[in-house]
Structure 1
């Protein structure tokens, strides 16, 4: 990497870090070009050079943190030797990430992220394909082995992650009736029952 490329990466990181701080402090409406350049100390021209627009910056910020969440989940899966222990690992890693990176989790579970997902779902998924493929391979291998019910992969993914995302959203919204530790204890078994190929 040349010194110029390194400086470019440092500048992009400053802008992304500042954007998350602004989002955490002021919400979606407060995430403006002016607020980010003031918070980062980086020029307006540099923001446009690296991200093209405020929307480009938002998208890059969401992709950065989605990538980190997926990396945490894949790392957790690597230590699991059964489908059941894998589900436990996925649930715990997701909820731990939400607790440890609350500001980023708020961004990933925001209405703006939902709108972007609806508008650009395939493109976003394609951008994270390398990170998603270990999860897909894990799921396919456990379906093939007969541990997990022979359902379409998208349905298995929804059954596994849907309840976890719902709990995360509820906790992030400030509703005081969700305990993440309790959810981490209860959800894996409940989710396992929904995807296990074993007769009930």
Structure 2
């Protein structure tokens, strides 16, 4: 493994390990062993454990935001944009099930019990929320979404996603249709009434 490949391996290992064990339960040694690199190389590329934790989360949310922006642009209405956003987001979590849980650990919505500067990740999450906001605004304008508060609706849509993903990844409940049912529920809730 050379240069960038080692750095990528460390980042991927960090996403997996932080996602599985959380910040406090993860050691740099665990990450270096999982990545198959020397312990010191982790510090060389990422500095501190905190920096690696935040970088691991930022990398996932940047990839997710780019993917969701591309997918929602294909929608023919704002309501379809919300539906596409939710389906694509929830599908992404399953496609990246080994690494996605790091976002559950470092997001502004997580319950991390330690002091971390999560400003960078909060900025990235705001970009994610902006994708939802654009679809809500578009839907109200095109008549597919009823006249609701844009801020409240954006937050409620994302809160439903967060709750659903946390239930899927962090709880013992086996609800095979949870993602589809949540998406349908949200779409029914905001759809313009005849």
Length-normalised TM-score, structure 2: 0.77
**Pairing 1:98–2:93 present:** yes
Q: Which residue of 2 aligns with 1:171?
A: 168
Equivalent runs, 1:134-153 vs 2, <5 Å: 134-153=131-150
1:65-86 per-residue CA deviation (whole Å, 9 max, x = no partner) reads 1222223322321221122322
Corresponding residue SS for 1:104: coil
Query: Distance between the aligned counterparts of 1:128 and 1:106, measured in 2?
Result: 15
Conserved 8 A contact 1:167-1:178: no
The alignment status of 1:27 with 2:27, answered yes or no, reads no
The residue that corresponds to 1:159 in the other structure is 156
C-alpha RMSD of matched pairs (Å): 2.9
Is the Cα contact below 8 Å between 1:76 and 1:93 reproduced in 2? yes
Higher RCO, 1 or 2 (CA under 8 Å, sep at least 6)? 2
Q: 1:14 and 1:189, CA in 2 relative to 1: closer, same or farther beyond 3 A?
A: closer
Q: What stretches of structure 1 of length at least 5 have no aligned partner?
A: 1-6
Is 1:75 paired with 2:76? no
Structure 1 or 2: more helix by fraction: 1
CA contact (8 A) 2:15 2:56 kept: yes
TM-score (norm 1): 0.75
**5+ residue gaps, structure 2:** none
